Amino acid sequence: MSNVFITGATGGIGVPTVRMLAGQGHRVFAGVRDHSLARAFDDLAGVVPVQVDVTDEASVAAAAKAVAAQLGADSLDAVVNNAGIIVQGPLELVEGAELERQLRVNVLGPATVIRAFLPLLRPGPGRIVNVSAPTARRAVPLMAPISASKAALESLSVALRGELAPWGIKVVIVEPTATDTPIFARARAAAEESLERADPQLQRMYAPSIDAADEAAAKMTLADPDSIAKVLVTAVTTARPRTLYTAGRGAGMLPMVGRLPDPLADAIIARAIGIAGVQAG
């Protein structure tokens, strides 16, 4: 049996990941912002809800202390940074507060969790699993905030891999493709609210691109959360984890396109997201 702490436990891929780990007999410390959401795990043995807000250093420190108390003489085998949000839309229309929120949750949050939980991982040694996205390695138009945040998270992961090598602590990146979870609907709703507050002239200028991208996104096939969770569980439990896992159909295509000459890569991505040939409004 291993001990695993996962943030965003009640999010889209968090729930099946917790259920799979617990089903295999692991003890899972399920990080939740609201204890009422932990009812999703009432039927599972070995799941310990831990209240945590990854954007609040005091909350993260309290969560680490609570986990340490539960562990007793045991060590922590893995920390999974799964909590995340998506901020999307043309960068010119993304409000400063939204951009800050993106980086606070997706970059500063995992960094805070890692610093707080490293003392619990070191004795094992344990491992760190950071949930990223294919846009980390090839940014996509209209997705600059999420692309930048995941690129930063992967840079942190690569640096940590070297820094923590003396203790044998592994750092693993998992890149899921677009998944059938509520996070994308929430991202669209937030983008629409932000757009409504933007200058009407800017709204008209970007409307053709936004409408074309929305139409293309509606036709996109989304991955089943369970298929992503299986890869995440492998990254957590396998004896010799790879440094990078891709998850979901076509998850490795975007990084592959990113290795092409920029003009060609830009054209392929523009066509894929529906904005090729779109004229400014």
Q: What is the 3-state secondary structure (H, E, C) of 18-30?
A: HHHHHHCCCEEEE
Q: Which range has the worst mean pLDDT, 57-71, 82-96, 157-171? A: 82-96
Mean pLDDT (whole number) for 254-274: 89
Helix axes 183-196 and 200-218, enclosed angle (nearest 10)? 160
Mean pLDDT (whole number) for 27-56: 87
Mean pLDDT (whole number) for 170-196: 77
**What is the distance between the alpha carbons of residues 136 and 151, in angstroms, rounded to a whole number?**
4
**Whether the predicted pLDDT of 152 surpasses 70:** yes
Facing residues of 172 across strands?
129
Mean pLDDT (whole number) for 256-265: 89
Q: What is the per-residue pLDDT for 255?
A: 81
Q: What is the per-residue pLDDT for 47?
A: 94
**Whether the predicted pLDDT of 221 surpasses 70:** yes
Q: What is the per-residue pLDDT for 187?
A: 66
Mean pLDDT (whole number) for 156-176: 97
**Whether the predicted pLDDT of 107 surpasses 90:** yes
**H/E element holding 63?**
helix 57-71
Percent of the chain with pLDDT over 70: 94
More confidently predicted of 258 and 116: 116
More confidently predicted of 23 and 280: 23
Q: What is the per-residue pLDDT for 281?
A: 60
**H/E element holding 245?**
strand 244-247
Q: What is the per-residue pLDDT for 1?
A: 65
Q: pLDDT band for position 251 (50/70/90)?
A: confident
List all residues 6 or more positions away from 124 whose beta carbon is below 8 Å from its beta carbon: 75, 76, 77, 169
Mean pLDDT (whole number) for 44-55: 93
**Whether the predicted pLDDT of 66 surpasses 80:** yes
**Whether the predicted pLDDT of 20 surpasses 90:** yes
Q: What is the per-residue pLDDT for 83?
A: 94
Q: Which range has the worst mean pLDDT, 102-111, 172-181, 192-201, 221-230? A: 192-201
Give the mean pLDDT of the chain.
90
Predicted structure pTM score: 0.91
Percent of the chain with pLDDT over 90: 65
